[in-house]
Each structure stands twice: as C-alpha cells, then as structure tokens.
Amino acid sequence: MSITLESLACWLVDIPTIRPHKLSMATMGCQTLAIVRMQCANGLIGWGEATTIGGLSYGAESPEAIKLAIETYLAPLLCGQTFSGPAALADKMNAHVKGNTFAKSALETAFLDAQGKALGLPVSSLLGGALTTRLPVLWTLASGDTEKDIEEGQRLLAEGRHDTFKLKIGARGLDVDIRHALAIKAALGDDVSIRVDVNQAWDLTTALKGIARLQDGGIDLVEQPIPLWDRQGLIALSQRFAVPILADEAVATSHDGYALASNGFTGVYALKIAKAGGPVQALKLAHVAQAAGVALYGGTMLEGTLGTVASLHAWSTLNLQWGTEMFGPLLLKDDIVVRPLDFRHGQVTLPQGPGLGVEIDEEKLGYYARK
C-alpha cells in the first residue's frame, strides 16, 4: 500500500537512567531519544526513534545531528512524495543523503508504523512474519562496581526477570577488568550465561591475552574486543578461540557482513537497526549471515520503547541463536509510551497491534522534550 508523506517532526527527548551506565567510552546518566512523527496523507501517523550512546563518544551521529539531518535534508526530500514501501523510501534517502543511518532508521521505522496501521498489520508481518511473540532478553550489568553488579545480578535472578547478563569492560586496565568479569561469573554461578562487551577498547595484543583468560573463566561470548577497522584482527580472534567473538561496530551493513564472512569470520553478528539504516536494512545483514552460517544476536542502542519495539519486530522474524539485549526501556526512569513492554522470565513480549503496536503518551513526550 502506497503512503504519501505530508510532514515530519522531530524532538530530542532526554530521560534519566535508573543508575549510571558505564561503558568503555562514556558513562551515561541520561539517554537522549530522537523521536520522529510522520504525518501521512491518509490521516495516519507513524512514529520512529533514533538513539545513540553517549552522544559522539560512541559513533559518528549525535542526537542533535540526527534532528538536524531530518529537518534540514530528509524532510524536504521526502515530504509530498509517495512511496510504495520501505524499499522505495530507502532508495530515495540513500540516493540523496550519504550515511546518517540513525536518522534513516527512525524514518524507515515511522514509515513501517504508518503502513502497518493502514493495512491493519503488525510491522513483523510486513517484514516476513513473526516466528515468535516472546523473545529472550538479557540485562547489562554496567555500574562499574563489582559488588554492586553482583548484587544487581542476584536480585534480577531472584526476581526471575533475567537469567543472562552482559558486562561492560574495557575502560580500566586488563587485569582489573578480567578480575571484575570473573568475580561476577563466579558469584552468579555456572548456570548463568555471562557475556562481555569491550566496545573496541583493546588492541589485538591485549585481546589475545584477555580473551584467553575470559574463555578459561567460563565467559560465553566476547563482543567487539578490538577497533572496528581491524577486520583481519577480528577474523583471526574468531578463528583462534573457542569462545565466540561477537562483531558489533565492525558490521553495520550487509556489505560489512559479506566482507567478514567471505574472509573467514566464524563468530556472531550483532544486528542493530540504527547502524543498518532501519529494520528492513538490518534484515539484509541477517540474511547474509544466515547464508554464510554466521550466528545472530539482536542488539540495542539503548533505545526507549519505540526503537526497541521496531527492533523486536525485525528480530521476531529470525532465529537468533544468541538472543537479544533489548532491555533499553528498563534502563530508563520513564518512557513516552502509554503502556510499557512486558519483561518477564528473561523474555520480552512483542506487541501485536497494527504498526508497531505502541501508543505514544504525548503529554510525556512534551514533558521530556528538550526545549
């Protein structure tokens, strides 16, 4: 069903986190969501979200740049145009605007939301159909304090909310980080899956030392231990160790996925709609991985509910061997939706209404929007 875009609006929405979230490149106490409202000629409204981590400390797009790109370049390009589907929308955007995948992801998400509402179908049906409505979701322990992280993990296990955890390391010395990770693994037990995310903080030599110790200590997965540009190093690490290596920043698009797999990468790909340019674009990478025999993991940019649900609709169409980390809304003290997502027993439920299946609380949107 064709959709004609009438107008686009974008807000920067600042929401505090429940605790400081420490990564190798930044410590977050607040998350900024770029929220998009797409008004269509048929009277329907589509909503989208683009969210980064730590402003420009993580990647090339900031919330402010996303808003500027949408309002200055993408809105004049798209408004008044009619699109038969997300492929035509992406083709138009890519032909005239280079990069800016976070901004494009928000717009592709909003378009899918509007199209799903017009057809009376959930976005997952537009993407091929959900294989499941309950998806596994881990929790990241990232206070930076070993005892606090152990206490938090034990509490969440006792509550039955999560049974798999990721640790953020790389900001401190290697020995400190390894002791931190292995202490948490020992405290939470052999039956609990523990993964680590280094966020590109190590060089290859450090990674060789660190991964060997993490593997011996029972860590199940090591995410992006070295810089994204060191593709050959990442391939070598995936072939050297039994513990799987998860490529994140190094694999944004289907072209990245092909380049890694064709040169012998044997690990896992982290899918993220923001780095790919939208849910449809992320699935292109997933299909390359499936053809190459590379396992999949549903990643997050710590989005609020809108961006999380957009991702979940895409992930629901896949067999994700390593589950997902779509816990972003749980890290925020509040959100801008009427009904929060259902997180229970280490899983999250995919909304089933038309489009994204999420209703925006416009009062909260106005309250948290940057003035």
CB atoms within 10 A of CB 43: 9
Verify whether residue 325 is a known catalytic residue.
yes
The H or E element spanning position 186 is helix 174-188
Task: Please name the helix (run of DSSP H) or strand (run of DSSP E) that holds residue 279, with its range, or none.
Answer: helix 279-292
CB count within 10 Å of CB 77 equals 16
Neighbours of 120 (CB within 10 A): 10
* 236-241 long-range Cβ contacts below 8 angstroms, 24+ apart: 236/204, 237/204, 237/207, 237/208, 237/211, 238/264, 238/265, 238/266, 238/267, 239/264, 239/266, 240/208, 241/211, 241/212, 241/215
For residues 301 and 12, what is the distance between their CA atoms, to the nearest angstrom?
16
Angle between helices 279-292 and 101-119 (to 10 degrees): 100
- Tokens at 51, concatenated: 């969210």
Whether the Cβ atoms of residue 210 and residue 187 lie closer than 8 Å to each other:
no
Please say if 117 is a catalytic residue: no
Residue 124, SS3 per DSSP: helix
**Contact present, 308 and 277 (Cβ < 8 Å):** no
Render 12-24 in DSSP notation, one character per residue: EEEEEEEEEEE-S
The number of beta carbons lying within 10 Å of the beta carbon of residue 148 is: 12
Which entry of 22, 67, 117, 168 is annotated as an active-site residue?
Answer: 168
Residue (of 325, 142, 300) closest to 221 by Cα position: 325
Which among 61, 108, 223, 325 is annotated as catalytic? Answer: 325
User: What's the Rg (C-alpha) of the chain?
Assistant: 20
SS3 category, 332: strand
Contact partners, residue 155, CB within 8 Å, separation at least 6: none
Catalytic residues: 168, 325
